[in-house]
Amino acid sequence: MGKQCHTVESLLKFRGDWATHLTRYYFAANILKDFGVENTVLDAGCGCGYGLEILSRYGYKVTGVDSDEENFQYTLKRFNSPKISFLVIPLEKIEKIYEGVVSFEALEHSDDLDKGFEILRKAATNVFIFSVPYKQVNDGTDKIHKHFMLDESRFPKETMFFYQTLDGLIYDRMPTKHSPNTLIGVLKRGN
């Protein structure tokens, strides 16, 4: 299996993190509807494809993009639906246009965060929804992330921000009792 695809046993071990990822996709499905997305959605950096399956349940024709061939093979076996397609390409090679673009926990892995952000933003005709670790510090042990200390100042001022805490709850303003670990941005296309 791909680096991001997990066995049931490993998911049960890390179910809190799993739940926060699932919550993000349900949140995105509703935001996509609110912004008039009716058909095509790109899930950029889709990993093992569980988000594709969630978004397809909402009626979207979803294309998943990931650079990991093993993730592609896993997704093909697990999610067989005419509403789901998959491309094995890096984010920087996305050229097609979709009504909505979702990219959760992917931008911080890109070599050039600004370029990756602009490619995904331009790929959306209606709305671009993304998430990144919020103010994550590099303690020297993290070998997979390339960008750290990401916060609101790193993204366009017209972005609507939401904050997700470790318990999976998503807030429309900075929570006072819980520290967020994920920053979610919603950017209407045209901005």
pLDDT in tens, 154-191: 899 999 999 999 888 999 998 888 888 899 999 998 65
Asked, for residue 21, whether it belongs to a domain, the answer is: yes
Query: What are 191's two structure tokens?
Result: 């901005």
Asked, for residue 155, whether it belongs to a domain, the answer is: yes
Asked, for residue 115, whether it belongs to a domain, the answer is: yes
- In this structure, what CATH number is given to the domain that contains residue 109? 3.40.50.150
pTM of the entire predicted model: 0.88
C-alpha torsion angle, residues 149, 163, 41, 146 (rounded to 10): 10
CB count within 10 Å of CB 65 equals 25
The predicted-structure confidence for 121-152, as pLDDT tens digits, reads as follows 999 999 999 998 888 777 767 666 667 777 89
Please state, rounded to an integer, the average pLDDT across all residues of the chain.
85
For 141, the domain range is 8-188
CA–CA gap between residue 165 and residue 74 (Å, rounded): 29
Asked, for residue 1, whether it belongs to a domain, the answer is: no
pLDDT above 50 (res 11): no
Asked, for residue 3, whether it belongs to a domain, the answer is: no
What is the tally of structural domains in the chain?
1
Torsion 25-22-146-135 (CA) sign: positive
CA–CA gap between residue 39 and residue 131 (Å, rounded): 22
Asked, for residue 81, whether it belongs to a domain, the answer is: yes
HEC assignment per residue over 27-62: HHHHHHHHCCCCCEEEEECCCCCHHHHHHHHCCCEE
